[in-house]
Amino acid sequence: MRICVYGAGAIGGNFAARLAAAGNDVSVVVRGTHLEAIRANGLVLHAGDRTIVAGVRASDRPADLGPQDAVLVTMKASGQHALAQSIGPLLGPDTPVAFVQNGIPWWYGHGLAPSRPPAPDLSRLDPGGALAKAIGLQRTVGAVVTSSNHVMAPGVVRNISPERNTLWVAETDDRQSPRILALRETLKAAGIASPPTTDIRHDVWHKLMANLTGSTVCLIVAQPSTIQASPPVNRLVRRAHAEAMAIAAAHGVMVDDDPEVRFGPGRVYPDHRPSILQDYELGRPMEVEAIVRAPLAFARSAGLDTPTLDAIEALCVTLAEAKGLYRA
């Protein structure tokens, strides 16, 4: 399959290297020193005891790469606005464009089942509808990822979870289309788990439970995920989790996420700094809108009282705005 990974940083670099090693024709859209390193040395992935040096086509201009069979957008939600003006050359008539991101995606309200309440106003995730217009809703594919990675050096990625790399993909209306089945098979052949799903919004909210209730607290206290085992922090994240579960349920999504499994005494937390904390510390634009504010828009549209998440939102927004990494 001819696949472009748009934004081959930590997660994108991991997936691009694996897909290329499996024999796919892979290209990446990157820039700066990352682009220079990949052109000179290939894309290098360290995953456990395995090292992959992938020969991929790399450019900062999608026009250099041409139409694709599939595009994986692994840019963070905070940077996706840049896609609208540049992604066109990668698109064929039916090229699926999968948005691999954290938080509530811009497409959430499109293809929503009539049995579920309508989504709140999510226009801040796609100002002016630029992504919807440039890509087309018929090409848009939902995606949810579980994979821990970081960039060690330009062009070099470390996969921290070599046995846990999963990418759920689905049409936004959950149809089991031929292109989704083909994309899942391609991912699995590259060692990336891609389980079948009949409800991509369930997967969105399930992943959001970790980001909204745990990662945000790590940001506030500037500590890795292990801080959630601390008794006072554990009580806080449990309250946040209960509120987040109620928000999902109010919008027709019953998340099978046992708090005792997520926060109980048997949980072993990774010594990993969540991406929202990494962005804060490195001075990169932060996914506050998708991870924090959009979920609370769902709460307000349902008339729910969420005091713990409201406090988390206020602190996250204040921290991000103070460093110029988010604008409310």
Q: What is the pLDDT of residues 154-205, one digit of tens each?
A: 999 999 888 889 999 999 999 999 999 999 999 999 999 999 999 999 999 9
Are residue 244 and residue 171 in the same domain, yes or no? no
What was the pLDDT predicted at 109?
97
pTM flag (> 0.85): yes
Classified as helix, coil or strand, 141 is strand
Are residue 227 and residue 159 in the same domain, yes or no? no
Domain extent at residue 73: 2-198
**Total structural domains within the chain:** 2
Residue 327 is assigned to a structural domain of this protein: no
Residue 108 is assigned to a structural domain of this protein: yes
Distance CA 35, CA 28 (A): 9
Residue 328 is assigned to a structural domain of this protein: no
Give the residue-averaged pLDDT of 269-283. Answer: 92
Are residue 193 and residue 207 in the same domain, yes or no? no
Determine what percent of the chain is predicted with pLDDT higher than 70: 100
Instruction: At 1, list the tokens.
Output: 């399959």
The answer, yes or no, to whether residue 272 has pLDDT greater than 90, is no
Q: Say which residue the tokens 């948005």 belong to.
A: 99
Classified as helix, coil or strand, 89 is helix
The answer, yes or no, to whether residue 82 has pLDDT greater than 90, is no
What was the pLDDT predicted at 161?
85
Residue 209 vs residues 111, 118, 144, 240, 241: alpha-carbon distances, Å: 22, 21, 13, 9, 7
Are residue 125 and residue 247 in the same domain, yes or no? no
Region label for 213, one of left (φ > 0), alpha (ψ between -120 and 50) or beta (otherwise) = alpha
Q: Answer whether 279's CB lies under 8 Å from 287's CB.
A: yes
Are residue 112 and residue 222 in the same domain, yes or no? no
Render the burial of 39-77: b for 16+ CB within 10 Å, e for the rest. Answer: eeebbbbbbeeeebebebbbbeebeebeebbbbbbbbbb
Domain final residue pick, 148, 171, 198: 198
The answer, yes or no, to whether residue 214 has pLDDT greater than 90, is yes
Q: Which of 76, 133, 188, 207 is catalytic?
A: 207
Mean pLDDT for all residues in the chain:
95
Are residue 187 and residue 307 in the same domain, yes or no? no
- DSSP class of residue 118? P
Domain final residue pick, 179, 198, 217: 198
Q: Based on the number of CB atoms within 10 Å of its own CB, is 89 exposed (0-12), middle (13-18) or buried (19 or more)? A: middle
What was the pLDDT predicted at 242?
97
Please choose, from the candidates 7, 14, 52, 16, the residue with its C-alpha nearest in 3D space to the C-alpha of residue 34: 7
Are residue 100 and residue 12 in the same domain, yes or no? yes
Distance CA 42, CA 38 (A): 4
207 catalytically annotated: yes
The count of C-alpha atoms lying within 13 angstroms of the C-alpha of 308, restricted to the half-sphere facing its C-beta, is 20
